[in-house]
Structure 1
Amino acid sequence: MERGAGLDDQAADRVDLSDRRWEDRREFITAMAHLYRGEISRANTWRTRLDATTNWAVVTVAGVFTVAFSSAQHPHFVLLLALLLVLTFLNIEARRYRYYLLWSYRVHLLETDFFAPLLVSPSRPASDWADHLAESLLHPSFPMAYWDAIGRRFRRNYVWLVTLLVLSWSAKLFLHPVPTRDWETVLARAAVGPVEGMVVIAAVGLVCGGLVGVSIASLLLPAWGRGLPEVVRRIQKRAGPLMPGPKPRERLATIITSHGQEMARRIMEELQRGVTALTGTGMYTGEVRDVLLCAVTDVQVPYLEEIARQTDPGSFVVVSPAEEVRGKGFRPFEPPS
């Protein structure tokens, strides 16, 4: 009998980790510290990979210069091959930069919204920082578009390498094997096999112009986007994978219940979300019910459903995707254009 009671006590002491609410503050801070160390390690790893890619590009350019100008008989398209390699490295670095920003976003979120408030008495972290962090962990998305990463890395590092290659290629055409100022001779030298020189020069100019355009766009469009009309912004949202920013995952919950006061209180206290109460009448039963409206994040939906189940098992919950939610606890209102 005593043994059975002991087993019951042990079973009662077991904690279901899936239902844990981190009532122990020390355990929660310890878990966040370990998460912070892990995200710092990831960010440092990808930062090292960024530097390695840049080093590859620099070494490639330096080696090609040595080969191209060591003899007048060496062909000019060696420099064009080096340009293709540098563009390949730029593509790799842009991809790595997006991963680096993903980990850096989490590190910055922990530093500014969790650790920094701990240093201020009383400790008051932002109400929605955990939602943003959980959203990034459950549904990772790059905080920057691919074309924007290309533009930024080109401005920071690769503009100098590409400029040196293009200038060296032009000098090779005009100087080797003998100096010339005749444009026809330069066009003849620029030819690569059956491809005419004018086509090669136009292709190089198009590539360089495209890089400059993407670089300028990545610099100016974020500022312009804040002043664009709403219609243009909506078109940009549907413009495909080149547009920056993760997709919003806000939800609008509609709860029909006969325990509106208690359920609204729990939602406001446990989820830190505002609730709007309406009065409705069931057309089948004729009973008066409370209709609660609440905007929540995708991460909070399971907790909202659990609150509804515990408070009123007979409640009716409808969760709909929201196109956009702005206000306290979500994205701020943008100034009018």
Structure 2
Amino acid sequence: MIGMRQPTPPEQEPVWHYNGYALEGAQFLNAMVHFYRGEMERANVWRTRLDTTTNWAVVTTATMLSFVFSDVAHPHFLLLLSMVLVLLFLIIEARRYRYYELWSYRLRLMEMEFFAAMLVPPFRPDPRWATSLASSLQTPHFTITFWEAFGRRFRRQYQYILLILWLVWLLKLYLHPYPAPTWALFVERATLGIPGAWVLAGTSLLLWLLFTLGWWTSDAQRASGEILQRAHVPSPREMLHYLVDITSRQRALHVLRLDDRLVYVITTHGDEIADAILRELPRGVTRIEGRGMYTGQRRDVLLVAVSPRQVEKLKRLVYARDPHAFVIVQDVSEVVGLGFRKPSRAMT
């Protein structure tokens, strides 16, 4: 009607609030997309620099190997020089990896709290994520230590390069100018102004220290630019503690080996399934007569101890003969008997 005021449509509430500042959805989305693209470009630049350093190490190794073995007179210490150069490349790459990890950290924040949140409406990013991202922008800081970066790059590429150089250096000592007939001559060929035994011991110690460092930092999981396992995997330190602690010896065995399985099969086809298990696995079967408390019907309960690899085959045997059977798989710490661990003398 004439003279009546039309109701004012409610204002659209901004989707993003931070420290009293509000952005409309389109503005916020546009800003985040451009910011993400910029950070992705930065991460790609440093990813390329990582690959470049690795390429330097590979080319240096291949060139030196070809040169040293192209002539008997070419000195073996060039391979040791190559090891020093490769180690220098590793140090440079560890430093570059820390920068790459900084940009990857920001990308992962946006992917987890922004893009992933958009796929699960309503869209409400966690304000703590904004604080973390803003802190990284205002005061950039490395998210991992140098030694974690060093150990990670060593395990990924450089352990193989350095190990190959060291083994080929030993081969060069043995073969040229002719195969060394004695250990004393082999050690003498390693002399470089200092006794050959010292050179051999020094290079061996260096490799041992590098592998120890790589192994000791393998439980560091703060790198966001890597695909890491979510399930808990015992770290080298945890496994070492298990092995050293005598009272935890059984626990260490539990970590280091695959346990056996105890399978309960509840079925109305007990004889048929038991016969199939005895013939096709083959494993022993124990049958217990049971009764379903809901239906009141008689059931056979079959107990079978199997290895982890036999579980799926056992399930196929059961459901091929009784699609309505119940199968319960339970971890067991130890199975003693025929087909498994033999009883110890103390048991007998």
**Normalised by the shorter chain, which TM-score bucket?**
0.5 to 0.7
Aligned position for 2:218: 219
The reply to whether residue 98 of structure 1 matches residue 101 of structure 2 is: no
CA contact (8 A) 1:148 1:214 kept: no
**Would the aligned equivalents of 1:22 and 1:28 in 2 still touch at CA under 8 Å?**
no
Name the residue aligned to 1:117: 117
Tell me how far 1:51 sits from its aligned partner. 0.7
1:72 matches 2:84: no
Query: Which secondary structure does the structure 2 equivalent of 1:22 belong to?
Result: strand
Q: Deviations over 1:182-223 (max 9, x none)?
A: 12212211011x222122112111210111011101113666
Matched positions, count: 210
Contact kept in structure 2, 1:50 and 1:93, CA below 8 Å: yes
Quick one: percent identity of the two aligned structures? 48
AA aligned to 2:135 is E
Is 1:41 aligned to 2:41, yes or no?
yes
The answer as to whether partners of 2:216 and 2:237 remain within 8 angstroms in 1 is no
The structure-2 alpha-carbon separation of the partners of 1:102 and 1:173, relative to structure 1 and needing over 3 Å to count, comes to: same
1:153-192 equivalence runs, <5 A: 153-192=153-192
Supply the AA of the counterpart residue of 1:37.
R
Matches within 5 A, 1:108-257: 108-192=108-192, 194-220=193-219
Deviation at 1:161, TM superposition (A): 0.8
Distance (whole Å) between structure 1 residues aligned to residue 23 and residue 65 of structure 2: 64
TM-score, normalisation: structure 1: 0.59
TM-score (normalizing by structure 2): 0.57
- The alpha carbon displacement at 1:226 in A equals 11
Larger gyration radius, structure 1 or structure 2: 2
Contact 2:218 2:236 survives alignment (8 Å): no
Residues 181 and 143 of structure 1: CA distance in aligned 2, closer, same or farther (over 3 Å): farther
Output the amino acid matched with 2:204. Answer: G
Residue 28 of structure 1: CA displacement?
A: 2.2
- Per the alignment, do residues 88 and 64 of structure 1 end up closer, same or farther by CA in structure 2, a change over 3 Å counting? same
Q: For 2:148 and 2:87, how far apart are their aligned partners in 1?
A: 15
Distance in 1 between residues matched to 2:199 and 2:182, nearest whole Å: 17
Pair 1:116–1:226, CA change in 2 (3 A): farther
1:25 deviates by: 3.0
**What CA RMSD, in Å, does the superposition of the two structures yield over aligned residues?**
2.3
Separation in 2, partners of 1:171, 1:129: 55
CA distance in 2, matches of 1:95, 1:160: 20
| Worse overlay, 43-52 or 142-151 | 142-151
- Cα deviation for residue 119 of structure 1 reads 2.8
> If each structure's helix is expressed as a fraction of its own residues, which one has the higher value?
1
Unmatched 5+ stretches in structure 2? 1-18, 222-233, 239-348
Q: Does 1:83 align with 2:83?
A: yes
Opposite residue 217 of structure 1, the aligned amino acid is W
Aligned partners of 1:184, 1:80: CA distance in 2, in Å? Answer: 20
**1:133-161 Cα shifts (integer Å, max 9, x gaps):** 01111222222111111111111111111
CA-CA distance at 1:225 after TM superposition: 10
Residue segments in structure 1 that go unaligned for 5+ positions in a row:
1-18, 228-337
Structure 1 residues 222-251: Cα deviation after superposition (integer angstroms, max 9, x where no partner): 665998xxxxxxxxxxxxxxxxxxxxxxxx
Distance 1:22 1:98 in 2: 34
The alpha-carbon distance between structure 1 residues 184 and 66, as it changes in their structure 2 partners (threshold 3 A), is: same
Deviation of residue 23 (structure 1)?
Answer: 3.4
Instruction: Tell me the equivalent position of 2:261.
Output: none
State how far apart, in whole Å, the 2-side matches of 1:224 and 1:174 are. Answer: 38
